[in-house]
């Protein structure tokens, strides 16, 4: 294992709740659509435009909006989201992540970020983690969002590694699919049944460690 390619939301910090709050506000105030709490899982790991299309499909309104309308609405949602995360700080780093990063660095494992969020660099800065990562894959430069493997392939390439030399870290079904299709070993956090395609699933980020990643990597490549 020479690299670790991380998702952001739900893995390093829990900004998913802020995303869903922003989507819910947009849906209610601009689209007259009430989103049930259960809809949050539909948007996990999905790009901004694809998320909006899923919401419009849910409200049977997709054909009522042009591509320009969709871009405008997505930008408005991002505004709501940025307001919500204004106060993000080191206190919002998920349990075990700071220790994991230190362990990976101590073993000379390169780290990159493969998030669908265009706000990822700004979020890492708020968390005080921006300088800990060797690279951040730009979601604007990949052809397809998760579950396509593009962003994880970009994450490996950004640190000059082959996907087969990396572990991908995720919390979403779409993300795990992207990792596996990229040819990486997948470590996931969350529900073991839901994330069954991963090589290893742990219930919380506090269970992450260099040893767990290395052991999973070796086992998957045995």
Q: Is 186 annotated as a binding residue?
A: no
Q: What's the CA angle centered on 19, arms 133 and 206, to 5 degrees?
A: 50
**What residues does 113 pair with on adjacent strands?**
6, 136
**Separation of CA 208 from chain center:** 16
Q: Is 164 annotated as a binding residue?
A: no
Q: Is 38 annotated as a binding residue?
A: no
Show the tokens assigned to 205.
């980020």
Show the tokens assigned to 82.
């940025």
**Active-site annotation holder among 9, 63, 160, 191:** 9
**Active-site annotation holder among 7, 63, 134, 160:** 7
Q: Is 9 annotated as a binding residue?
A: yes
Query: Which of 212, 216, 218 is CA-nearest to residue 199?
Result: 216
Q: Is 209 annotated as a binding residue?
A: no
**What residues does 93 pair with on adjacent strands?**
13
Q: Is 171 annotated as a binding residue?
A: yes
Buried b (16+ CB within 10 A) or exposed e, 61-98: eeeebeeeebeebbebbbebbeebbeebeeebbbebbb
Is 211 a residue of the active site? Answer: no
Segments in the chain forming alpha helices (H): 16-31, 40-43, 48-58, 67-84, 97-106, 120-127, 150-158, 173-182, 210-220
Q: Is 7 annotated as a binding residue?
A: yes
Q: Is 44 annotated as a binding residue?
A: yes
Q: Is 115 annotated as a binding residue?
A: yes
Per DSSP, 186 falls in state: E
Q: Is 77 annotated as a binding residue?
A: yes
Q: Is 170 annotated as a binding residue?
A: yes
Q: Is 119 annotated as a binding residue?
A: yes
**What residues does 110 pair with on adjacent strands?**
3
Known binding site for substrate: residues? 7-9, 23, 43-48, 51, 77, 115-119, 146
Known binding site: residues? 7-9, 23, 43-48, 51, 77, 115-119, 146, 170-171
Known binding site for Mg(2+): residues? 7, 9, 170-171
Residues known to be catalytic:
7, 9
């Amino acid at each position: 294992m020479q690299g670790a390619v991380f998702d952001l939301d739900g893995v390093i910090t829990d900004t998913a709740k802020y995303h869903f709050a922003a989507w819910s506000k947009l849906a209610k105030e601009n689209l007259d659509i009430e989103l049930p709490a259960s809809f949050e899982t539909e948007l996990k790991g999905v790009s901004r435009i694809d998320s909006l299309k899923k919401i419009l499909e849910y409200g049977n309104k997709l054909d009522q909006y042009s591509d320009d309308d969709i871009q405008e609405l997505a930008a408005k949602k991002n505004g709501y989201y940025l307001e919500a995360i204004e106060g993000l700080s080191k206190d919002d780093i998920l349990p075990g992540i700071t220790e994991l990063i230190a362990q990976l660095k101590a073993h000379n494992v390169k780290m990159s970020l493969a998030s669908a969020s265009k706000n990822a660099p700004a979020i890492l800065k708020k968390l005080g983690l921006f300088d800990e990562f060797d690279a951040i894959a730009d979601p604007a430069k990949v052809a397809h969002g998760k579950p396509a493997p593009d962003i994880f392939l970009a994450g490996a390439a950004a640190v000059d590694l082959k996907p087969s030399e990396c572990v991908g870290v995720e919390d979403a079904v779409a993300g795990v699919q992207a990792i596996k299709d990229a040819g990486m070993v997948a470590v996931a956090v969350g529900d073991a049944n839901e994330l069954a395609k991963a090589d290893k699933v742990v219930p919380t980020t506090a269970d992450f460690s260099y040893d767990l990643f290395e052991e999973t990597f070796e086992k998957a490549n045995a």
